[in-house]
Structure 1
Amino acid sequence: MRYPILKSSLLACTIIATSAAAWAGQAPGAAASPEIPISHQDRVYAAEQFSNTVSVTDPVDNKLLGVIRLGDPQPGNFSPLYKGQVLVHGMGYSPDHKTLAIVSIGSNSVSFIDTATNTVKHVTYVGRSPHEAFFTPDGKEVWITVRGENYISVIDAASFAEKTRIEVPAGPGMQIFSPDGKYGYICSSFNPETVVVSVADHAIVARVKQESPFCPNIAATPDGEQVWFTLKDVGKTQVFNAKPPFNPIKTIDTGPITNHVNFARTPKGTFAYVTIGGTNEIKVFRTDDFSLIATIPVGSLPHGIWPSGDGTRVYVGLENADALAAIDTATNKVIANIPIGQAPQAIAYVPNAAPNPDDRQNLQPLGVAGQVAHLSLGAKTEPKNGQPPTSVSLFDQGLIQVLQASVTGLQPKQRYVLALADHADGTGALQPLAAFMTNPAGSAIVNAVGPIRQIVQNSATAERRYLVIAPGEPAKFGEAVQVQTP
């Protein structure tokens, strides 16, 4: 009984879009595509890196329906006989909204998931450390950025077999396509160069200079006029012409740990939503004059972002909060926070993904994927407006945790250590957990593994230790400059 209603809604929406509204169509589709009103058949998916899950959310009531478990947490996935996926990270979906392509960085795989049944129908293994995947607009190919190497793996969408490779600058970060399917835009995570590739013949037709080497994310406006990409290391977002001569248009200072960008078309215009991990905010820009029209506070370390099929909402994965935030684009306010799996990365809103919206087959409860502890580190002196510059999550993996710190507020391009201190003020002996170097924006994402929660939250005061950040290297470091806040 739902299909006639859906078809009628789509037909009515198409008539409205073509006869009255000039703002129809959401990314990654074309502006001329019909709006698809939010319904129980829609799904919001998040790829969760440390629980190795894909969460599935109903956007009508913003309720987590369950997770698709692609792999096990640590230390089970260390086994040489382990067959599951590791570091579930990237995500794309087919134009017919029936298939998800999920990239797992640690196991070099692309898992193809049937959205109707939540089952994996095929796994394709590619080269070292793939990052993102997306279908061409005609649905015939899936392009995978093999970030650990220097090529795009082009997968046949029917057979799931690799058909060819497109050589690009080493470290391709992500690709997205022009809405008309003519061009693929591929930014780099290791080289300061984005390339434009002809989809028809897989040939590079243009090169665009990046202002830094580290681009994790790229998106094209539904009108086919602009391409935006983020530069995580320097906290900038660049815009260039989506058509020849592919000239640069604008560079915007967006903020430390600039992660992803996407677009929402609304009655008021087309807006770019950029996730700023270092400030726990979403910045919203007009695409006509690039003016900043809103700054939206959200939870810790916003990462992936995607619009609903009608542009009335955008959904944001909060990497260090294990949550999905729903934002109303009319007010640019957070209207819901949904608990999901550990460290969400890519997000995809897929309209009409579930033919039977009441079907929960093959979805599992969060379980250990929902267990996490959150801490903050603040400057030892002169704290900035009461805002902790560093958020820390301890993702449970059984007896141990994966620690992830979103570090900001430090000196750029300097070496530091994340360590355990004897005392809350950072004094006493320091035991290094991880060494890192900040990027040009004075930020970094730092990871460590161990029974850390049991140490920093120990009820026995004499045995408790405290997380701190100190300048230097593990063999020689100075006094703590950031300390664990109460």
Structure 2
Amino acid sequence: MSEHLIILNKDEDTISIVNLETNKVEKTIDTDHNPHEVVVTKDGKKSYVACSLGNKLNVIDNDTFEIVKRIEHPDFSFPHGVGLTKDGKKLYLASTYSEKVFIINTETDEIEKVIPTYQKYSHMISFSPDGQTVYIPNIGSNNITVMDVKTEKITNHFPVGPGPEGVAVHPNGQHLYVANQDDDTLFVIDTTSYEVLYKRRVGNVPVRLVFSPDGKYALIANRQSGDVSVIETEQQINGTVRPWEIKRLPVGVWAGGIVFNQDGSHAYVANNKTNDLSVIKMSTLKEERRIDVGIHPDGIAYVKR
């Protein structure tokens, strides 16, 4: 078994494949224009790369790290966020400017359904841990669209802060974390009532948010302040349990995509403007090293094969 990172270099239309044993780029792949977001299938065999300005979805064979198919649709207009159902059989894709969600069969790589959100700038895809619900942040509408996976229908929209982009559900399934890039805040929301339970100030222009596998931490990439907000999700102090920013960790310029390795020992942050990755050791919450990649790295995924 080998461990690799798949890093999308937006401004040179390439993917860097980093071998985590050597911490070096093992291979570089040409893609369609402006690769933004990536997701790896549950079995690790394929990756899907949304090329936003090329209006294509590239399908990568993870054995060879080569593009094996290109998926297109007339209503692709800045295809961006991608996510997989819990059984891995379907891929959800958010197309930002057409404001639609595409559901793709991962066995045939064919588009099965197109669902308009009727919201402004539907940008990312995030599944609940139980796989039953999809959350779609709408940057221009300042809200979140909720979709039911079983029925493949929209069930709700609820307001959040201005410019929501980074969205993820805590592994306990009870709390949705939303990073609002236009006012530098984190909202912690009850997934049943949609009540905002906590508001927290984070760094400047928070754009990505991921949880550690054990749910102890949420990491938020702050683009303009060049750092990562480390949120301890259940900090205990004076008899109170609360989510709290315990550290703001400096990384490269324009922090973007973040991913954890399988055991959660390390996190990797794509630094858009220093063209490298920050390697964060989670036991110390410190940057261990940098790995050079391509120009404007952003979307990032981990694969073990």
**For this structure pair, what is the TM-score category when the shorter chain's length is used for normalisation?**
0.7 to 0.9
Aligned counterparts of 2:103 and 2:59: Cα–Cα separation in 1: 15
Matched, 1:338 2:278: no
Aligned counterparts of 2:170 and 2:193: Cα–Cα separation in 1: 16
Matched, 1:299 2:239: no
Deviation at 1:213, TM superposition (A): 4.8
Report the more deviating stretch, 216-225 or 136-145: 216-225
Q: Report Cα offsets for 1:110-160 as digits up to 9, x if no partner.
A: 111122321111111111111111111111111000111232100100111
Aligned counterparts of 1:160 and 1:364: Cα–Cα separation in 2: 23
Q: Report Cα offsets for 1:91-128 as digits up to 9, x if no partner.
A: xxxxx882211111110111111223211111111111
Deviation at 1:291, TM superposition (A): 2.1
Equivalent residue, structure 2, for 1:177: 84
C-alpha contact 1:193 1:213 (8 A) present in aligned 2: no
Q: Report Cα offsets for 1:371-404 as digits up to 9, x if no partner.
A: xxxxxxxxxxxxxxxxxxxxxxxxxxxxxxxxxx
- TM-score, with length taken from structure 1: 0.52
Aligned counterparts of 2:118 and 2:2: Cα–Cα separation in 1: 35
Equivalent residue, structure 1, for 2:93: 186
Matched, 1:238 2:145: yes
C-alpha contact 1:98 1:353 (8 A) present in aligned 2: no
The one of 138, 153, 167 aligned to 1:261: 167
Deviation at 1:347, TM superposition (A): 1.5
One-letter amino acid of the counterpart of residue 233, structure 2? T
Aligned counterparts of 1:365 and 1:209: Cα–Cα separation in 2: 39
Equivalent residue, structure 1, for 2:11: 106
Deviation at 1:280, TM superposition (A): 0.9
C-alpha contact 1:257 1:276 (8 A) present in aligned 2: yes
C-alpha contact 1:240 1:248 (8 A) present in aligned 2: yes
**Which fold has the larger relative contact order, with Cα–Cα distance below 8 Å and residues 6 or more apart in sequence?**
2
The one of 268, 272, 278 aligned to 2:182: 278
The one of 15, 18, 22 aligned to 1:117: 22
Equivalent residue, structure 1, for 2:49: 144
Deviation at 1:215, TM superposition (A): 2.6
- Unaligned segments of structure 2, at least 5 residues: 235-241, 267-280, 293-305
Aligned counterparts of 1:278 and 1:305: Cα–Cα separation in 2: 15
C-alpha contact 1:220 1:242 (8 A) present in aligned 2: no
Aligned counterparts of 1:291 and 1:353: Cα–Cα separation in 2: 29
Which SS does the other structure have where 1:265 is aligned? coil
The one of 137, 150, 153 aligned to 2:58: 153
The one of 301, 326, 334 aligned to 2:230: 326
Aligned counterparts of 1:173 and 1:364: Cα–Cα separation in 2: 26
Equivalent residue, structure 2, for 1:457: none
C-alpha contact 1:232 1:257 (8 A) present in aligned 2: yes
List aligned pairs for 1:407-446, cutoff 5 A.
Answer: none
C-alpha contact 1:130 1:145 (8 A) present in aligned 2: yes
Aligned counterparts of 1:298 and 1:364: Cα–Cα separation in 2: 23
Aligned counterparts of 2:261 and 2:205: Cα–Cα separation in 1: 23
One-letter amino acid of the counterpart of residue 183, structure 1? K
C-alpha contact 1:108 1:126 (8 A) present in aligned 2: yes
Aligned counterparts of 1:217 and 1:321: Cα–Cα separation in 2: 22
C-alpha contact 2:165 2:207 (8 A) present in aligned 1: yes
Which SS does the other structure have where 1:329 is aligned? strand
Aligned counterparts of 1:176 and 1:164: Cα–Cα separation in 2: 18
Q: Report Cα offsets for 1:191-221 as digits up to 9, x if no partner.
A: 1211111111112222221233523321111
Q: Which has the larger radius of gyration?
A: 1
Provide closer, same or farther for how the CA distance between residues 253 and 202 of structure 1 changes in structure 2, counting only shifts above 3 A.
same
Aligned counterparts of 2:189 and 2:246: Cα–Cα separation in 1: 20
Aligned counterparts of 2:66 and 2:247: Cα–Cα separation in 1: 40
Point out the structure with the larger helix share. Answer: 1
The one of 248, 256, 260 aligned to 2:154: 248
Aligned counterparts of 2:190 and 2:178: Cα–Cα separation in 1: 11
Equivalent residue, structure 2, for 1:216: 123
C-alpha contact 1:259 1:277 (8 A) present in aligned 2: yes
- Unaligned segments of structure 1, at least 5 residues: 1-95, 367-486
C-alpha contact 1:97 1:353 (8 A) present in aligned 2: no
Matched, 1:229 2:136: yes
Aligned counterparts of 1:352 and 1:112: Cα–Cα separation in 2: 20
Point out the structure with the larger strand share. Answer: 2
Which SS does the other structure have where 2:170 is aligned? strand
Aligned counterparts of 2:226 and 2:97: Cα–Cα separation in 1: 28
Percent identity over paired residues: 21
Deviation at 1:286, TM superposition (A): 2.0
